[in-house]
């Protein structure tokens, strides 16, 4: 019997597999098809203070081994989430990690305040890395002092587990993870999408209305693994690994690189049940390799070369 529970800050999740923000709605989208109570947890679509209708179409385009998106944080807003979604989600035995995005530090705090009074929130994931909007956008996630400020202020408001979601679109992501730790974040999640672009050569127009979008999927996995390992090597903070995870082997690869948990994103679009298969795959892997606790995998990378 493999122990699958992992701890992220104050949050205990029953297994290390979460569904990534923006790739599984609010968790209630496919209740008939996917048993979310088997998941380690769900990360909600980014919530903003007021509802947002999102960006104009086309919002997505397929690319080699991945896709571009610019949804523009379309969401129902924090209040409607509290009244309509939380009561449903509460009934499932899975961690509810609420991802929030805002244009101003005050708004991040205000959203958390409202959620603190509601029942059923397991943890917060602060999105400062969305490439497609002002809210939670890159001018926060690519700026060390803004990042520090957001962590410091949101930390004041909640004792719940605070996860900061980082962007790969920076020179050294570990500098940002360091700041998050110093300001009291419990964990970092990485990576958000990579800024990308595609053009339809027939029309000569960008394939995404907002011109650039966020690249996700298997194509970015090597980039994500490198970023996870960079943070693991340089900063002592729990890491949630994200980027191109499509199979249990991918999940294990992230954990070996130093991730305590993982999030499955774009792969949900190909098969919304993939996360459940990844969980059973990890358990099978542990059994076959006589690993009794998934935590043994975390950071178990073997380096014979001196470079590190």
Ligand X SMILES: Cc1cc2nc3c(=O)[nH]c(=O)nc-3n(C[C@H](O)[C@H](O)[C@H](O)COP(=O)(O)O)c2cc1C
Residues that bind another protein (CB under 8 A): 22-25, 29-30, 32-33, 45, 53-54, 56-62, 64-67, 69, 71, 74, 217-219, 246, 266, 268-273
Residue 22 touches ligand X, criterion: CB under 6 A: yes
Output 70 or 122, the one with its CB closest to a second copy: 70
206 binds, among a second copy, ligand X, another protein, none (CB under 5 to 8 A by kind): a second copy
Q: Which helix (H) or strand (E) holds 11?
A: strand 11-13
132/21 Cα distance (integer angstroms): 14
C-beta closer to a second copy: residue 115 or 264: 264
CB of 290 to another protein, least distance (A): 22
Interface pick for a second copy out of 105, 197, 276, 283 (rule CB under 8 A): 197
- For the record, the structure tokens of 285 come out as 């892997």
SS3 track for 50-113: CCECCCCCCCEEEECCEEEECCCCCECCHHHHHHHHHHHHCCCCCEEEEEECCCCHHHHHHHHH
Cβ(257)–Cβ(232) under 8 Å? yes
- Three-class DSSP category at 48: coil
CB of 86 to ligand X, least distance (A): 17
211: left (phi over 0), alpha (psi -120 to 50) or beta: left
Return d(Cα 270, Cα 292) in angstroms, integer.
31
Binding a second copy (rule: CB under 8 A), the pick from 33, 53, 119, 201 is: 201
Which of another protein, a second copy, ligand X, none sits in contact with 294, Cβ below 5 to 8 A by type?
Answer: none
Distance, CA of 132 to CA of 298 (rounded, Å): 32
Span 84-113, contacts to ligand X by CB under 6 A? 99
- DSSP classification of residue 8: E
Which residue in the set 1, 53, 270, 303 belongs to the binding site for a second copy (CB under 8 A)? 303
Of 232-271, which residues contact ligand X (CB under 6 A)?
Answer: 242-245, 264-267
Catalytic residues: 130
List interacting residues with ligand X (CB under 6 A).
20-23, 45-46, 69, 71, 73, 99, 127, 130, 165, 192-193, 216-217, 220, 242-245, 264-267
């Amino acid at each position: 019997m493999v122990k699958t529970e992992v701890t992220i800050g104050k949050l205990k999740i029953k297994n290390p597999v979460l569904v990534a923000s923006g790739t599984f709605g609010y968790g209630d989208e496919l209740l008939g098809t996917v048993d979310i109570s088997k998941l380690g947890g769900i990360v909600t679509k980014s919530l903003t203070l007021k509802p947002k209708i999102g960006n104009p179409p086309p919002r997505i385009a397929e690319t080699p081994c991945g896709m571009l998106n610019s949804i523009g944080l379309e969401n129902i807003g924090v209040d409607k989430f509290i009244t309509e979604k939380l009561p449903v989600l509460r009934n499932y035995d899975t961690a509810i990690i609420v991802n929030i995005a805002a244009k101003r530090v005050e708004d991040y705090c205000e959203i958390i305040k409202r959620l603190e009074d509601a029942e059923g929130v397991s943890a917060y994931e602060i999105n400062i890395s969305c490439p497609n909007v002002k809210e939670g956008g890159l001018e926060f996630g690519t700026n060390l002092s803004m990042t520090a400020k957001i962590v410091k202020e949101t930390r004041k408001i909640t004792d719940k587990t605070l996860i900061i979601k980082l962007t790969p679109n920076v020179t050294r992501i570990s500098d940002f993870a360091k700041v998050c730790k110093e300001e009291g974040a419990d964990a970092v999640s990485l990576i958000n999408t990579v800024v990308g672009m595609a053009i339809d050569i027939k029309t000569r127009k960008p394939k995404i209305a907002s011109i650039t979008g966020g690249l996700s999927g298997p194509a970015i996995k090597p980039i994500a693994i490198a970023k996870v390992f960079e943070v693991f090597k340089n900063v002592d903070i729990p890491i949630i690994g994200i980027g191109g995870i499509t199979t249990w082997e991918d999940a294990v690869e992230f954990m070996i690189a130093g991730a305590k948990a993982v999030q499955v994103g774009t792969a949900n679009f190909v098969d919304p049940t993939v996360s459940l298969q990844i969980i059973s795959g990890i358990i099978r892997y542990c059994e076959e390799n006589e690993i009794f606790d998934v935590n043994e995998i975390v950071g178990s990378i073997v380096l014979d070369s001196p470079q590190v």
